[in-house]
Amino acid sequence: MLEKQNLLGLTQVKLKKFFSDLNEKPFRTKQIMQWIYHQGALDFGDMHNFSKDLRQKLQAIASIELPEVTSINNSKDGVIKWVIKLGEENHIETVYIPQKDRGTLCISSQVGCSLACTFCSTGYQGFNRNLQNHEIIAQVLIAQNHLKDKNKRISNVVFMGMGEPLLNESPVYDACDILLDDWAFGLSRRRVTVSSSGIVPALKRMSDTVPVSLAISLHAPNDELRDILVPINKKYPIKELMKACHYYLNAGTQERHVMFEYVMLKGVNDSIEQAQELSKLINFWFQGESAKVNLIPFNPFPETKYTTSNDIAIDKFQDILYRSGIRTTTRRTRGDDVDAACGQLAGKVVDKSRRSAGRD
């Protein structure tokens, strides 16, 4: 018996081909996307503008399946974390962060992560596999269906959960396509952000493929320190990364922006000298261009050797960047009481990389 085609996560182009192969008219694509993403329908039987024959045919060969949610954790500050089971005892985590003017959903792109950034809880879990299209989009649909009952909405989606998005390119690009599609979630390109540790060749491909916002996990002002904090830097050092960011800014016809994320680690990367070095780096490469820095107070997890920079150090660091003309913000820690803050997402990963076994 053939496995049913899960229609969740198929782009408009792929759905048109699916219906064409069934000798159905192209307008069926718009209908089913609106049923799934606007109405939250998961049963073909509920799609009353389809003929009975088409509904029966779809039930025989296709499905709209969401993975199992094993727990929903509500933080005291309004953050919501979903733990989602993906078989083989693997779990990923998805986080909703409500703010006064928006609601941001942080989604995962892999089960675990292979990059081993030393300050990130996900990196300590090892790596199992990439997520498929439908598993990425399922996170958004699960959250959207849950939030509707609470009169809350998703205004922004960020690929800042578990995994490195640019090591799972095709599914991530398809997911971005669906997030931007008016027949699906209809988000603007500036409200969808892909965060990368700096996979330079993929970053260039993304620049030409999906017109979304870019965040770069920088975390150090020089190669010597970044080699330790973000080991992929040994393969794609800062100079190559900065060139790729320039390529991104100048790709396409619409104005683009790049945000550099910088986690604040006490006594590691938070000194006045390092702030001055970072300001020189950013100004050298992006003088007069649309780039900003987002300082992130480190969020501890059990296995870590790092501690969080104190407020005075963070304020001084931000002030140096600001005085050098760099737009700089400090991210407020949210959801840390349910381990949903930045860098704390761990899920449950059956590690196939054998890396987690070697941790001390």
Please identify, among 17, 33, 63, the residue that sits at the C-terminal boundary of a domain. Answer: 63
Question: pLDDT digits over 196-246, tens only?
Answer: 999 999 999 999 999 999 999 999 999 999 999 999 999 999 999 999 999
pLDDT reported for residue 358:
42
pLDDT at 356 over 50: no
Taking each continuous run of H as one helix and of E as one strand, the counts in the chain are: 11, 14
DSSP per-residue codes, 172-234? HHHHHHHHH-TTTT---GGGEEEEES--HHHHHHHHHH---EEEEE---SSHHHHHHHSGGGG
Same domain assignment for residues 112 and 197: yes
Same domain assignment for residues 27 and 86: no
Same domain assignment for residues 258 and 273: yes
Tokens coding 337: 């009481």
- Cα 144 from Cα 139, distance rounded (Å): 9
pLDDT reported for residue 357:
42
Please identify, among 63, 84, 110, the residue that sits at the C-terminal boundary of a domain. Answer: 63
- At 303 the three-state DSSP class reads coil
The mean pLDDT of 12-24, rounded to a whole number, is 96
Question: Is 3 among the catalytic positions?
Answer: no
pLDDT confidence bin for 3, thresholds 50/70/90 = confident
Question: pLDDT digits over 121-135, tens only?
Answer: 877 778 889 999 999
- Cα 47 from Cα 52, distance rounded (Å): 10
Same domain assignment for residues 30 and 125: no
Domain that holds residue 49: 5-63
At 164, which CATH number? Answer: 3.20.20.70
pLDDT reported for residue 302:
81
- Higher-confidence residue of 357 and 110: namely 110
Question: pLDDT digits over 33-90, tens only?
Answer: 999 999 999 999 999 999 999 999 999 999 999 999 999 999 888 899 999 999 878 8
Same domain assignment for residues 202 and 236: yes
At 34, which CATH number? Answer: 1.10.150.530
Q: Which residue from 288, 287, 205, 299 is spatially nearest to 261, judged by alpha carbons?
A: 299
Residue 193 near residue 159, CB atoms below 8 Å = yes
Out of 106, 120, 245, 342, the active site residue is 342
Which one of 76-80, 193-197, 255-259 scores highest in mean pLDDT? Answer: 193-197
pLDDT reported for residue 116:
87
Q: Which residue from 141, 116, 84 is spatially nearest to 197, judged by alpha carbons?
A: 116
Same domain assignment for residues 210 and 188: yes
pLDDT reported for residue 331:
83
Q: Is 21 exposed, middle or buried (0-12, 13-18, 19+ CB in 10 A)?
A: exposed
pLDDT at 163 over 70: yes
Task: Calculate the average pLDDT of the chain.
Answer: 90
Whole-prediction pTM value? 0.91
Same domain assignment for residues 185 and 43: no
Task: Estimate the share of the chain in helix, then strand, then coil, as percent rounded to the nearest 5.
Answer: 40, 20, 40
Same domain assignment for residues 143 and 46: no
Same domain assignment for residues 156 and 281: yes
Question: pLDDT digits over 260-293, tens only?
Answer: 999 999 999 999 999 999 999 999 999 867 889 9
Same domain assignment for residues 175 and 316: yes
Please identify, among 63, 80, 96, the residue that sits at the C-terminal boundary of a domain. Answer: 63
The mean pLDDT of 21-38, rounded to a whole number, is 96
pLDDT reported for residue 241:
98
Q: In terms of residues, how long is the chain?
A: 360
Same domain assignment for residues 194 and 248: yes
Question: pLDDT digits over 291-338, tens only?
Answer: 899 999 998 888 789 999 999 999 999 999 999 999 999 987 655 555
The mean pLDDT of 147-154, rounded to a whole number, is 89
Tokens coding 67: 């993975």
Same domain assignment for residues 262 and 323: yes
Question: Is 342 among the catalytic positions?
Answer: yes
Out of 93, 164, 169, 261, the active site residue is 93
Q: How many distinct structural domains can be found in the chain?
A: 2
